[in-house]
Amino acid sequence: MNPPREAIQERYLRMPHVEKGMAVGLFGGSFNPPHAGHALVAETALRRLRLDQLWWIVTPGNPLKDNSGLAPLANRIALSEACAKDPRIKVTAFEAGHRVRFTADTIELVKERNRGVDFVWLMGADSLRSFHRWERWRKIVRSVPIAVFDRPGATLSFLSSTMAKTFDHARLDESDAPRLARMAPPVWTFIHGPRSSLSSTALRDAERLLRESGRGN
Domain of 16?
A: 5-216
Hey, which residues does 25 pair with through a beta bridge? 54, 120
What pLDDT score was predicted for residue 154? 63
CATH of the domain at 103: 3.40.50.620
Q: How many distinct structural domains can be found in the chain?
A: 1
Whether residue 126 contacts residue 154, with contact meaning beta carbons closer than 8 Å, is answered with yes
What pLDDT, on the 0 to 100 scale, is given for residue 160? 84
Q: Look at residue 152 in the predicted model and tell me its pLDDT.
A: 78
**Whole-number pLDDT of residue 217:** 52
**The pLDDT of residue 69:** 83
Rounded to the nearest 5°, which phi and psi values hold at 122?
-110, 135
Q: What is the pLDDT of residue 181?
A: 98
| Contact between 148 and 158 (Cβ < 8 Å) | yes
Mean pLDDT by 10 residues, the chain (217 residues): 65 98 97 93 96 97 75 96 96 96 96 98 91 97 96 72 95 97 97 60 41 48
What pLDDT, on a 0 to 100 scale, did the predictor assign at position 215? 53
Nearest Cα to Cα of residue 124 among 215, 204, 31: 31
SS3 8: coil
